[in-house]
Amino acid sequence: MAFLQPESTPEPENLQARIGLADFYLLILRLLLAVPMFYYETRQHIGRAWGFLWEQKDWPLVDAFVAMELPQPSVTATTLIFLLLVCPSAIAIGFLTRVNAGLTFLAVLFFFLSGLPLSEWLNAQTSVLFLGICAVLVLSGPGRFSFDGAFAALRRRRKRLRDAAAL
């Protein structure tokens, strides 16, 4: 039954021994997702959503949702743009990365499968790239250079202190 209980490897005391090249790659990958997504996709829709909600201006995304006969097109459009604003921002700082990457994956997948252009500058290949990056972040997590990594390090430290106090 030893194979059911894996041996725990002692964690090194210094941080440099735990940080690897993959952590840098995950940081770059998170930034490569969040910054272009905000600049090319979300930024233009924020102003349109603000005008739609508070100034009763026309928003082409809501008109496209009405043409698709989606239920509550204004709520759906506002929710999707809110997700595409908040989730990549949280991914950039590494806060709840897997959850936010999954939500971003679903939002981009909706736009990709529906054929709606989220941006005038981006094409379907860019959406596939964003989908791939989100899938990698869902599977791999945020890395050590993130809030999630910092919280995990604090949890490990508290556990190590509890275990040392119990001895």
CA nearest neighbour of 146 among 19, 43, 13? 19
Q: How many CB atoms lie within 10 A of CB 127?
A: 19
Distance CA 167, CA 117 (A): 61
Distance CA 123, CA 44 (A): 16
Q: What confidence tens digit (pLDDT) does each residue in 129-162 have?
A: 999 999 999 998 888 888 888 888 888 889 988 8
Q: Provide the whole-model pTM.
A: 0.80
DSSP character string of 29-61: HHHHHHHHIIIIIIHHHHHHHHHHHHS----HH
- Span of 86-90, 102-106, 133-137, 143-147 with lowest mean pLDDT: 143-147
Q: What confidence tens digit (pLDDT) does each residue in 61-77 have?
A: 888 889 988 889 989 98
Report the percent of the chain where pLDDT is more than 70.
Answer: 90
Token reading at 117: 């252009």
